[in-house]
Structure 1
């Protein structure tokens, strides 16, 4: 997955980037309702290899394999665990209604465990690699996160 944005600040080996609104993520609510158009993220870079200044446009990429792992963890694993919960409850001799309730309980516990895993076990957030750096020669409207055209 490739995205781009404008560098807003530099702090040592970390830069903050205000992301451009991409058509592929326009439907996603991952940025929250308050920041529907933009999202500021923090990226690491090597100042010895890459010369980045405030105002530069950077393109960064998340490896497809990492994206697939995240997608599996968030979307597929909970459904699998819900089905496993139903099957285990059914094998224990519970009625269908009890098995369904047990499967939803398993789903809730799975989401809780994913949340705890993300919060306490994953020490390092997903790193994105900076693939391209451009000097900003366009004016950028930070409110709408779009490049202004002359």
Structure 2
């Protein structure tokens, strides 16, 4: 997956960029620059000469992006259905089964939050490859 963004901060080998939105309207001049920014992303630089204000084009491994999408979109549904069928198997009423499925969904999202914060962030920081640097 290719993306680009404006370098906001560089501390040692950690670079923080404001990623540009990837859409057809993100590159026109009709709206302000703040409307073109999606969010901030931090990664580890491999010695490239990057300075604050540069525009960096980078690429992340497709398998990392695919794994993240699977965890975020599929895992909560699986947990939700498992919680429902487990509650039904132990003899709870229909309403209690629905409550258990939403409880499983909440637990799944909490798990994703901690998985993202402590595991995925470190993997993503290391899997970024710089393709191009536009000096400002």
Q: Report the counterpart of residue 69 of structure 2 in structure 1.
A: 71
Contact 2:4 2:56 in 1 (8 A): yes
Shift of 1:71: 1.1
Name whichever structure is richer in helix by fraction. 2
Q: Aligned to 1:42, what secondary structure does the other structure show?
A: strand
Shift of 1:91: 1.3
**What is the root-mean-square deviation of aligned Cα atoms in Å?**
2.5
Q: Report the counterpart of residue 43 of structure 1 in structure 2.
A: 43
Q: Aligned to 1:132, what secondary structure does the other structure show?
A: strand
Aligned length in residues = 125
1: distance between equivalents of 2:110 and 2:18? Answer: 30
Shift of 1:115: 2.0
1: distance between equivalents of 2:9 and 2:121? Answer: 23
Structure 2, unpaired ranges of 5+: 27-33
Q: Aligned to 1:126, what secondary structure does the other structure show?
A: helix
Q: Aligned to 2:124, what secondary structure does the other structure show?
A: coil
1: distance between equivalents of 2:23 and 2:8? Answer: 22
Please show how residues 1-150 of structure 1 align to structure 2 within 5 Å: 1-23=1-23, 37-38=36-37, 39-47=39-47, 50-120=48-118, 124=122, 126-127=124-125, 128-136=128-136
Q: TM-score, normalised by structure 1?
A: 0.69
Structure 1, unpaired ranges of 5+: 27-34, 137-150
Q: Which moved more, 1:102-111 or 1:8-17?
A: 8-17
Q: Aligned to 1:124, what secondary structure does the other structure show?
A: helix
Distance 1:20 1:118, change over 3 A: closer
Q: TM-score, normalised by structure 2?
A: 0.75
